[in-house]
């Protein structure tokens, strides 16, 4: 997910956490179903997780702290005979292994991507316990580590207190546990003497509401520590429950199987959610691509219209054409013979090279001006459409960071437009040469000068006058009529219509090619974000995961 769309951040996190869970839990557990049950002790800041772990182990293996946050780096406690399961990267491969414990070094530093491994004989060989960082830590890295560890667990021992058992954050995590199907035991810690009877019914109701009615709840009253540890009697019910689980191979297999199946089913659901987000991104990319195509297609159409309706004949182009042919005099001679008309036009196009050059230059400028104005309009339209969506604005800023300014036409457009018009004029000359080749017309065309006749043909391309008004129409219409009569006399009316159509179509084709380069600048900003192939793979992955869980 690379576009800044609503829900994109959540989808990215869903994808990243799914990958982590595959690496941290699903694949290791599928490879080693008989590995010790991984029990993660999690909960809020100050809930007493480390104190509880120390009480279960019977030794201070995880140092509680007065300052918040307390637990900063996770501690994994296991039986010495189970060391081979945890020394390597079988589980949690992204965390470096550090052997020791709180008695062998300070744990006051922030989490640095490692997990401390501690061995104790008091932990069953078929079970391991992790003291996790706080789920609501003020340190982002601690919260992320807590979530990662809980996602890697076969069993959660979730610790809360009498004062905070109804807080929102713990219940968000517990709902995730229900979705995964992970085994859960709840520890209500630091309960004031006599308050359990008041808190118990409310907590039980909350558990039933969230689908946790069968989860065992262990209550530990507030009491003095003995040599830094909870009294054995306070933690004995939980220790006994864990011991029974550790000793029962069938119960362990059922727990692991249920958690694994639930996790895989949740991964399938995550894959579907990420696929939906990727589809949304694809739809937004398609929308932006459509707006891009619409804007520049409209520009090509508008330029073609400007060429056909006489807009190009405005201003200097019209003045130079009038200057070249002596419009007033020629209009008075329209009733004269074609021969006399030829003589006058011949004189105009062959005897006035400066006027010819001026007219040709004016045509160049006129066509260039239309192309540049319509392209700028298209850019403004596309930019406005893209900016109406947050993703489009972010994409344009991203292009700007790479030195590509999409808010205006490319810096090379002026030069490329000028070259395009020159190439088109050369193409018109080629049309005339091909038309006259091998015919008696050749001598007549050449006697007037192919360049001069080509200029008259260009006026035919701009012959419609819908874009002009008043005196401009009379002048342009009259001069076009002069050019039309001359060309028909030289080439024949059918040839003139064909050549005019071909010359106009050639200009429109070249304009389309010119604007394709502008479109490509915008398309290049979209290309890095195209991920539609991922949708099919995600859908297929989700289906395979569901099939693996259900067996169908």
Please answer whether residues 359 and 454 qualify as being in contact, where contact means their C-beta atoms are separated by less than 8 angstroms: no
As a whole number of angstroms, the distance between CA 124 and CA 128 comes to 7
Q: Residue holding tokens 């109406």?
A: 388
Q: Please state whether the peptide bond connecting residue 69 to the residue before it is cis, i.e. omega within 30 degrees of 0.
A: yes
Q: Is the pLDDT of residue 300 over 90?
A: yes
Question: Where are the chain's structural domains?
Answer: 32-247, 288-536
Other beta carbons less than 10 A from residue 203's beta carbon:
18
How is residue 181 annotated by DSSP?
T
Query: Which is higher by pLDDT, 136 or 53?
Result: 53
* DSSP conformation letters of 94-115: TSEEEE--GGGS---SPP-SEE
Confidence of residue 314 (pLDDT cuts 50, 70, 90): low
Higher pLDDT: 144 or 321? It is: 144
Helices (H), 437-492: 441-448, 450-461, 471-491
Q: Residue 116 has what DSSP assignment?
A: E
Q: How many CB atoms are closer than 10 A to CB 438?
A: 7
What pLDDT score does 218 carry? 95
Whether 15 and 21 have beta carbons less than 8 Å apart is answered as: no
- d(C-alpha 394, C-alpha 410), whole Å: 20
SS3 string, 211-274, reads: CCCCCCEEEEECCCCECCECCHHHHHHHHHHHHHHHHCHHHHHHHHHHHHHHHHHHHHHHHHHH
Query: Which pLDDT tens digit goes with each residue over 320-379?
Result: 555 555 543 333 333 343 444 445 444 544 444 456 666 667 777 778 888 999 999 999
- 108 pLDDT above the threshold of 50: no
Burial category of 473 from C-beta neighbours within 10 Å (exposed 0-12, middle 13-18, buried 19 and up): middle
What average pLDDT does the chain have? 78
Q: What is the pLDDT of residues 265-278, one digit of tens each?
A: 888 887 778 778 77
Kindly report, residue by residue over 21-36, the tens digit of the pLDDT: 888 888 888 888 899 9
**What region does 98 belong to: left with phi over 0, alpha with psi -120 to 50, or beta?**
beta
Instruction: Sort strands 75-78 and 127-131 into parallel, antiparallel or unpaired.
Output: antiparallel
* Rounded mean pLDDT, 144-161: 91
pLDDT grade for 73, boundaries at 50, 70 and 90: confident
Looking at the DSSP bridge assignments, the partners of residue 517 are none
Lowest mean pLDDT among 125-139, 154-168, 236-250, 483-497: 483-497
Whether 465 has a pLDDT exceeding 50, the answer reads: no
Please give the average per-residue pLDDT across 374-403, as a whole number: 89
To the question of pTM greater than 0.85 for the whole model, the response is no
What is the per-residue pLDDT for 140?
Answer: 84
* pLDDT value of residue 436: 65
Mean pLDDT of 137-161: 89
Residue 104 has pLDDT above 60, yes or no: no
Residue 497 has pLDDT above 90, yes or no: no
Mean pLDDT for 465-490 is 48
Rounded Cα distance between 78 and 93, Å, is 17
Percent of the chain with pLDDT over 70: 70
| Cβ–Cβ under 8 Å, residues 448 and 356 | no
74-101 as b/e, with b when 16 or more CB fall inside 10 Å?
bbbbbbeebeebbeeebbbeebeebeeb
DSSP string, 34-101: TSPEEEEEEESTTS-HHHHHHHHHTS--S---SSSS---S-EEEE-GGGHHHHSSSSS-TTSEEEE--
pLDDT of amino acid 35: 93
User: Comparing 373-387, 421-435, 538-552, which segment has the lowest mean pLDDT?
Assistant: 538-552
Cα–Cα distance, 308 to 461 (Å, whole number)? 7
221 or 448: which leads in pLDDT: 221
Residue 109: pLDDT band with limits 50, 70, 90:
very low
Residue 440: CB atoms within 10 A of its CB come to 7
By percentage, how much of the chain surpasses pLDDT 90?
Answer: 33
CA angle 219, 223, 225 (to 5 degrees): 115
Question: How far is the C-alpha of 506 from the C-alpha of 454, rounded, in Å?
Answer: 14
Collapsing DSSP to helix, strand or coil, 189 comes out as strand
Closest CA to 3 of 527, 541, 520, 539: 527
Return the CA Rg of the chain: 41
**Of 264, 190, 274, which is closest to residue 2 (Cα–Cα)?**
274
- Give the residue carrying structure tokens 């947050």: 390
Instruction: Give the confidence band of 54 by pLDDT, cuts at 50, 70, 90.
Output: very high
pLDDT band of residue 198 (cuts 50, 70, 90) is confident
Quote the CA–CA distance of 86 and 97 in Å, as a whole number: 9
Question: Residue 81: left (phi > 0), alpha (psi -120 to 50), or beta?
Answer: alpha
* Of 40-54, 214-228, 246-260, 453-467, the least confident: 453-467
pLDDT at 394 over 90: no
Residue 40, pLDDT score: 95
User: pLDDT higher for 164 or 365?
Assistant: 164
Residue 144: per-residue pLDDT: 86
Distance CA 221, CA 547 (A): 46
CATH number (3.30.200.20, 3.40.50.300, 3.40.50.720, 3.90.230.10) of 32-247 reads 3.40.50.300
The pLDDT, as a whole number, for residue 525 is 87
Higher pLDDT, 516 or 2: 516
What mean pLDDT do residues 458-463 have?
65
Average pLDDT over residues 510-527: 92
Given pLDDT bands bounded at 50, 70 and 90, which one contains residue 64? confident
């Amino acid at each position: 997910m690379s576009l800044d769309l609503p829900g994109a951040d959540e989808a990215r996190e869903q994808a990243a956490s799914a990958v982590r869970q595959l690496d941290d839990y699903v694949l290791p557990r599928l490879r080693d179903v008989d590995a010790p049950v991984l029990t993660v002790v999690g909960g809020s800041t100050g809930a007493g997780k480390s104190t509880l772990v120390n009480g279960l182990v019977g030794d201070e293996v995880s140092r509680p702290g007065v300052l918040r946050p307390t637990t900063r780096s996770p501690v994994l406690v296991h039986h010495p005979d189970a060391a081979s399961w945890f020394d390597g990267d079988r589980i949690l491969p992204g965390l470096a292994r550090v052997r020791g414990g709180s008695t062998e070094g300070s744990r006051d530093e922030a989490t640095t991507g490692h997990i401390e491994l501690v061995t104790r004989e008091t932990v069953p060989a078929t079970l391991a316990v992790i003291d996790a960082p706080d789920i609501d830590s003020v340190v982002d890295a601690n919260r992320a580590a807590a979530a990662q560890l809980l996602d890697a667990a076969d069993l959660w021992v979730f610790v809360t207190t009498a004062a905070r058992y109804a807080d929102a954050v713990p219940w968000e995590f517990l709902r995730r546990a229900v979705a995964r199907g992970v085994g859960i035991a709840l520890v209500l810690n630091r309960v004031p003497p006599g308050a359990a009877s008041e808190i118990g019914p409310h907590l039980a109701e909350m558990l039933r509401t969230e689908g946790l009615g069968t989860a065992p709840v262990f209550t530990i009253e507030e009491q003095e520590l003995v040599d830094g540890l909870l009294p054995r009697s306070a933690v004995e019910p939980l220790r006994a429950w864990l011991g029974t689980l550790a000793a029962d191979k069938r119960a362990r297999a059922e727990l692991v199987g249920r958690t694994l199946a639930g996790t895989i089913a949740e991964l399938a659901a995550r894959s579907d959610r990420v696929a939906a987000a990727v589809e949304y991104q694809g739809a937004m990319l398609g929308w932006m691509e459509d707006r891009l195509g619409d804007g520049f297609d409209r520009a090509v159409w508008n330029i073609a219209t400007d060429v056909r309706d006489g807009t190009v004949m405005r201003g200097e182009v019209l003045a130079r054409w009038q200057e070249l042919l002596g419009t007033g005099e020629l209009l008075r001679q329209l009733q004269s013979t074609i021969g006399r008309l030829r003589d006058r036009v011949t004189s105009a196009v062959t005897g006035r090279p400066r006027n010819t050059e001026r007219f040709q230059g004016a045509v160049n400028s006129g066509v260039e001006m239309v192309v540049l104005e319509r392209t700028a309009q298209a850019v403004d339209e596309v930019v406005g459409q893209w900016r109406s969506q947050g993703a489009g604005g972010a994409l344009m800023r991203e292009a700007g960071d790479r030195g590509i300014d999409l808010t205006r036409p490319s810096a090379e457009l002026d030069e490329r437009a000028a070259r395009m018009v020159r190439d088109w004029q050369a193409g018109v000359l080629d049309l005339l040469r091909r038309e006259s080749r091998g015919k008696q017309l050749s001598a007549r065309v050449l006697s007037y000068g192919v360049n001069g006749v080509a200029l008259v043909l260009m006026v035919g391309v701009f012959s419609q006058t819908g874009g002009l008004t008043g005196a401009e129409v009379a002048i342009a219409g009259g001069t076009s009529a002069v050019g039309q009569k001359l060309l028909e006399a030289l080439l024949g009316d059918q040839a003139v219509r064909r050549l005019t159509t071909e010359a106009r179509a050639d200009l429109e084709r070249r304009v389309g090619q010119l604007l394709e380069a502008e479109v490509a600048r915008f398309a290049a900003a979209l290309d890095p974000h195209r991920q539609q192939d991922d949708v099919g793979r995600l859908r297929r992955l989700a289906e395979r995961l569901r099939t693996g869980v259900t067996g169908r």
